[in-house]
Amino acid sequence: MLPASPQARERLTVAVGKRHDTVTAAARTIVAAGLPLSDRVFSVAREPSALLLSYYKHMRKPHVWRRRGMDEASLRLAPRRAMELSFADFVRQIDFYNKSDDAIADYYRAGVFPKTDVVALEDIDDYLQHRFGHHRNFDASALERRNVSKPKDAGGAVLDDEIRDFVQQKYPRLAQTHREALQRAWAD
């Protein structure tokens, strides 16, 4: 999420890192930009099956292939498998960005920050209002959403109970992180 208006952007100092950084990597980006580290940060947890469906759809997009130096005739790795396999088979054969469940857990470790709030994606609007709504410059209506999956070209992918159960078993720590995030401990 970014401020959608130029006026809102003027009131922020932004240090841009990678789209999917761990909390520790984000801290390095902040320090490299000459900014102080905050006492509190937040990380967003998605429901694991929905995350993998998003990954599957992402790997099917031609602009993703081009960014990785591929085209339809030269697909390899996850993009190739996403085009060849059904979503159910893709989930069974491909790891999320080649990461194990333990590696994904790094996205939610506090690292150098005293407090990391893990927020379920479903609760992000409530979290932002809760954490920042009292600030004079906060304007929830001025936040622009990015990285929103669109339903087209999903290859007929369907999230059914069998896939959800499989993903919960394949990524138990991620599933636990999401379940804990749904408890909204940040609201205390």
pLDDT, average across residues 74-97? 95
Q: Are 42 and 116 in contact (CB under 8 A)?
A: yes
pLDDT at position 32, please?
92
- Identify which of 28, 46, 48, 184 has the alpha carbon closest to the alpha carbon of residue 111: 28
Q: Per residue in 156-172, pLDDT tens? A: 688 889 999 999 999 99
Q: b vs e for 74-83, b when ≥16 Cβ sit within 10 Å of the residue's Cβ?
A: ebeebbebbe
Q: Is the pLDDT of residue 102 over 60?
A: yes
**What's the CA gap between 176 and 150, in Å, rounded?**
26
pLDDT 10s digits, 122-140:
999 899 888 887 776 666 6
- Poorest-pLDDT segment among 7-11, 33-37, 116-120, 173-177: 7-11
| Mean pLDDT computed over every residue of the chain | 85
**Residues 137, 3 contacting (CB under 8 angstroms):** no
What's the CA gap between 184 and 188, in Å, rounded?
A: 8
138, 141, 149: which is closest to 49 by C-alpha? 149
Please count the helices (runs of H) and the strands (runs of E) in the chain.
10, 4
Model pTM score: 0.81
pLDDT tens digits for 3-34?
A: 556 776 677 777 788 877 888 888 889 899 99
Higher pLDDT, 151 or 120: 120
Tokens 């790891």 locate to 95
H/E stretch holding 29: helix 23-32
**Structure confidence at residue 111 as a pLDDT band (50, 70, 90):** confident
